[in-house]
Amino acid sequence: MKGAFYTGKYRNIFKEFGYSEKEIEKKIEDAYNTIFYGSDDERLYHQVGDDMSYFLDTGNNDVRTEGMSYAMMMCVQRNWKKEFDCLWKWAKKYMWMEEGENAGYFAWSVAPDGTKNSYGPAPDGEEYFAMALFFAWKRWGDGEGIFEYSKEARDILRECLHKGEDGKPGHPMWNPNNKLIKFVPGMEITDPSYHLPHFYELFALWADEEDREFWKEAAKASREYLKKACHPVTGLAPEYAHYDGTPYMKDNRQRYYSDSYRVAANIGLDYEWFGVDDWQCTCADNIQRFFCETVEGKIDMVYEIDGTIIDEKALHPVAIIATNAQASLAAKGKYRKKCVDLFWNTPLRTGNRRYYDNCLYLFALLALSGNYRIWK
Q: Nearest-CA neighbor of 113 among 71, 56, 72, 32?
A: 56
Planar angle of CA 214, 137, 52, nearest 5 degrees? 115
Percentages helix, strand, coil for the chain (3-state, rounded to 5) are 55, 10, 40
Active-site pick, 66, 126, 159, 191: 66
Element (H, E) at 245: none
Active site residue 304: no
Q: For 241, which DSSP code?
A: B
List alpha helices for the chain, DSSP H. 4-7, 13-16, 21-37, 65-78, 81-90, 123-140, 149-162, 197-206, 212-229, 262-273, 279-289, 317-326, 336-344, 354-368
Burial readout 213-234 (b: 16 or more C-beta within 10 A, e: otherwise): ebbbebbebbbbbbeebbbeeb
In sequence order, the 6+-apart residues with CB closer than 8 A to the CB of 205 are 212, 376
Active-site pick, 126, 259, 270, 357: 259
Active site residue 66: yes
In sequence order, the 6+-apart residues with CB closer than 8 A to the CB of 133 are 72, 88, 149, 150, 152, 153, 156
Catalytic residue numbers read 66, 259
